[in-house]
Chains A and B, each alone.
Chain A
Amino acid sequence: MPRPERGETMVRLDGVTKIYTKGGVELVVLDRLDLDVKAGSFVALMGPSGSGKSTILNLVGGLDIPDEGSVTVGGVDVDALSPDELSAWRAANVAYVFQAFNLIPVLTAEENVELPLLLTPLSRAQRREQARFALEIVGLADRMDHRPKQLSGGQEQRVAIARALAMDPEVMLCDEPTGDLDRASADQVLGLLRRLVDEHGKTILMVTHDPQAGEVADRIVKLDKGTVLVEGAEA
């Protein structure tokens, strides 16, 4: 995908509606939602529980499809891709960081970071090299042989970010990445994400409840009941 210049639109949601039906009851999670995220920007999605924040990330990453409207990422109409195309596209363009249980528990930190690189044509040696480099960036080169259980929550989250980074994605989708962390670890993770935007030109869409997390973002989008309530730049 041709990389949009910093400031051009990277992610666009156009009149997106998402409805879940449970027990015969229709639940409108997103109601004709519009959202525009510029390349190389850091956007925080905030809002009460159940307002559809995770749903938005799933739509952007192609893990879910909208009932109405369209989702484009880097000019690609995500919901028009077949399941196989979608897998390949996702591997090449987006990376997820979740709140918790981000890592495969039976693999070491290094192996977890190397895992998505199996989808690339890189050689074994190149994969290891790249995984180590990514762990270096997040400051965990000395922990690469540890299993997730042997890491702190903050370290786990940094490994997850390293894994996202290793794929060199355009867009990073972070769902409450600091939700389980203490203040110091949370600040470390937020600082790291900020650096990825500033130094590596990534586009980050981050769901958060943390008011301080909002402060590192370029822009905060507040959601309520499936619509954008407030959209504005944060000082």
Chain B
Amino acid sequence: MSLGFLAWRHAWSHPVRSLLTVGAVSVAVFLVCFLRSIVTSLDAAVTASASNRIVVGSAVSLFQSLPIAYRTTVGEMEGVEDVCSYTWFGGRYQSESNFFAQFGTDPEHMMRMWPEVVMPAEQKRDFVDDRQGCIVGRTLADQFGWKIGDTVPLIGTIYRRHDGAEWTFNIRGIYRSTKANVDEVTLFFHWDYLNEVLERGDADGPRGTSVLMVKIAPGYTPEDVSLRIDDHYAAGPQRTRTQPEAAFQASFISMLGNLPVFLGSIGAAVLVALFFGVVNTMTMAARERTRSMGILGALGFGREAPLRLYLLEAALLVGLGAAIGLLLAWGSQDTFRRLLGTQIPMYHVTTDTMVASGVVALVIAFLAGGIPAFQAARLRAAEALRRGA
């Protein structure tokens, strides 16, 4: 027997009420983890971006293509080690709801410039060798049950074939990504193949490339090279806007508007509601125990005894709830990565998030236990005994 044991008994003296509190805490902690993880997962793409890569796009808008000749010109500029085109294809796979990104690119350059894209060597070779080949991210392949050698039919929405048929790409490789700036839910194919069909006049669509990714040569700074490129095209034919890869990633996130602020306020509201819930439980519990606290006083326990009891009790309930919530958040990562799929492909719960949520929960427990404890400490034993009788 100990005071801790008494707190334990108190915590379970109303099992239903306690379980409801534990449940509320776990749901709240889980929600806070989940919301924060959405934000950190989006941010991760920005922070993981390489500092020696820059993105050249149209100065007019992201939806305006650049002439493909820029690829050669930029590639020959001082300070440029490598260059690679990315063209947004915007195809539809089977139905509207199956959204995922597809890019036409330059396979050899892409795989040189993106060490974070990992594939067996023979798959890389097969991709390069097959003009109609493509590679897909591991998660995407899992989602649709694709294997190497399968054919992916895509309905062109930007690039329409005159024969009304689908575009087809042969899966030559399944990649995984080692960093958060590259997701595993994208399909990459040969830009050359797309261009070839357009040149033949078999399909309609914008010519050129959406953006160029440039790798900076050693000894040059991204700022200098960016300036050189933008200066070069200042007079046209198409003005460019060059930015670091991180800023480019961030501009996609800013397209989501104030999502982080919005999610943050929901999280804060959840915590405030949780706080009042736990305070309410503890105040109710404390009212029932006025008499018991008076008895403790009469037995010679000091004023810190009620404080310890209430803090322990609140910590027990909140701690248990928080543990369950954290476990849920941690355990559901794969499920949510699948559910959020192409929207938040790199969904994951960071240790930071878990620790922060746990700490917030404990602070709430401390306050929620502290309030009735403070009231109890002000109530003298004689008064407690009189009231409780």
Q: Which residues of A contact B (CB under 8 A)?
A: 58, 61, 63-64, 83-84, 87-92, 95-96, 98-107, 111, 114-116, 118-119, 124, 127, 163, 167
Contacts and interface: CB of A to CB of B under 8 A. Distances in A.
B2 A118 contact: yes
Contact of B300 (A103, A116, A124): A116
A96 B298 contact: yes
Interface stretch (B5-13, B101-109, B344-352): B5-13
Contacts of A163: 299
B19 to A, nearest CB: 17
A106 B300 contact: no
A61 B389 CA distance: 18
Given A87-B302, A106-B13, A116-B299, A63 B381 contact: yes
B292 interface: yes
A105 B292 contact: yes
Contacts of B301: 87, 91, 116, 119
Contact of B389 (A87, A96, A101): A101
A84 B301 CA distance: 9
25 contacts: A58-B382, A63-B297, A63-B380, A63-B382, A83-B303, A87-B297, A87-B303, A91-B299, A95-B299, A98-B298, A98-B385, A99-B389, A101-B291, A101-B389, A102-B295, A104-B6, A104-B296, A105-B292, A106-B6, A106-B9, A107-B9, A114-B1, A116-B299, A163-B299, A167-B299
B388 interface: yes
Given A101-B389, A118-B3, A64 B299 contact: no
Interface residues of chain B: helix, strand, loop or mixed (majority): helix
Contacts of B389: 98-101
A171 B221 CA distance: 87
Given A104-B292, A111-B1, A64 B382 contact: yes
A40 B364 CA distance: 52
B10 A61 contact: no
B137 to A, nearest CB: 56
Contacts of A83: 302-303
A4 to B, nearest CB: 20
Contact of A119 (B1, B300, B382): B300
Interface in B1-40: 1-3, 5-6, 9-10, 13
Contacts of B380: 63-64
Contacts of B299: 90-91, 95-96, 115-116, 119, 163, 167
B388 A101 contact: yes
Contacts of A116: 299-301
A88 B300 contact: yes
A92 B382 CA distance: 18
B4 to A, nearest CB: 11
Contacts of B13: 105-106
A91 B300 contact: yes
A102 B301 CA distance: 15
Given A63-B380, A87-B301, A104-B6, A118 B292 contact: no
Residue in B2, B10, B382 with the greatest tally of chain A CB atoms within 10 Å: B382
Contacts of B382: 58, 63-64
A116 B295 CA distance: 10
A201 to B, nearest CB: 21
A154 B191 CA distance: 93
Contacts of A89: 300
Nearest to B302: A87
Interface string B281-305: 0000000000110011111111100
A84 B1 contact: no
A106 B10 contact: yes
Contacts of A98: 298, 385, 389
A123 to B, nearest CB: 12
A228 B354 CA distance: 67
Given A63-B382, A107-B6, A92 B1 contact: no
